[in-house]
Amino acid sequence: MTDCATCVVRNRAICASLDADELALLGKLGRRHRLRAGHSLLWEGDDAPLVANVMDGVLKLAVAAADGREQIVGIVFPSDFIGRPFGKESPYSATAITDVEVCVFHRASFDDFTSAHPDLQHKLLRRTLDELDRARHWMMLLGRKSAEEKVASFLLEMSERLSGQACDADAQRGFELPFGRQQIADILGLTIETTSRQLTRMRANGLVDLPSRREIVINDRAAMEAIAG
């Protein structure tokens, strides 16, 4: 059982539409689970008995080619929902990039609960459509954009996802990535040399500052958006 009232992502997760009594019922179905970096919660092609809200940390969603190469198809942040409600097999692996805490539900129990709560079903549908939009954007980013456009698009998205959902553009300027340049390269389908070269060029042009290996400060958001297209 988990205490939904103390959940740090309570107001941003899909369960935000539930009232106190409904949250108490949902809390009886869930449990908090910690996952160390590098460990997986779901495996591509396997039965997926669990769904989960991410409370802390970052995970990657990945699919594997026949020769074993991995393609990262998404990044999951706190308040995001992972798993396949009303489904069986997972279409991707979900692996922790950092240490992660999730609120886990047995899929069948969660399916029964959502069936009895239309507001939660509606929010789940909206999250699914948002995820579809992100997937389409990701296809464009990986398939058609240049290396410079990919890095600019990635940094803009990370600034929005990692700055506490701030709506003030100034508040979104600085953030710390939860992964290194090799993982950025893997996400974007680039080499680490190309990724580092693009970041160095952006810093030289005054678009960003790089206080450390993982800290990013966007100095000129409008110019970055122009590059990203």
pLDDT digits (tens, 9 = 90+) for 8-37: 887 788 887 788 888 888 888 889 999 999
140 or 223: which carries more pLDDT confidence? 223
Provide the pLDDT confidence category of residue 1 given band limits of 50, 70 and 90. low
Backbone φ and ψ for 150, nearest 5 degrees, come out as -60, -50
The structural domains of the chain, ordered by start, are 4-142 (2.60.120.10), 146-228 (1.10.10.10)
**pLDDT at 89 (0 to 100):** 84
For residues 53-65, b (16+ Cβ closer than 10 Å) or e, as one string?
A: bbbebbbbbbeee
Q: Name the percent of the chain lying above pLDDT 70.
A: 93
- What would the mean pLDDT of 88-103 be, rounded to a whole number? 90
**pLDDT at 220 (0 to 100):** 94
pLDDT of 168 above 60: no
**What does pTM read for this prediction?**
0.77
pLDDT of 5 above 80: no
CA distance 32 to 19: 20
pLDDT of 35-78, one tens digit each?
Answer: 999 999 999 988 888 999 999 999 999 888 778 778 788 888 89
For residues 22-38, b (16+ Cβ closer than 10 Å) or e, as one string?
A: bbeebbebbeeeebeee
**pLDDT at 163 (0 to 100):** 67
**pLDDT at 95 (0 to 100):** 93
pLDDT of 227 above 90: yes
**pLDDT at 87 (0 to 100):** 76
Counting every residue, how long is the chain? 229
Residue 30's DSSP bridge partners are 105
**pLDDT at 151 (0 to 100):** 93
**pLDDT at 164 (0 to 100):** 53
91 or 138: which carries more pLDDT confidence? 91
124 or 201: which carries more pLDDT confidence? 201
- The contacts of residue 209 (CB under 8 Å, 6+ apart) are 203, 216, 217, 219
Provide the pLDDT confidence category of residue 2 given band limits of 50, 70 and 90. low
Q: Would you give the DSSP letter of residue 60?
A: E
Q: Which of 191, 186, 210, 205 is nearest to 63 (CA)?
A: 186
Q: Over the chain, what is the mean pLDDT? A: 85
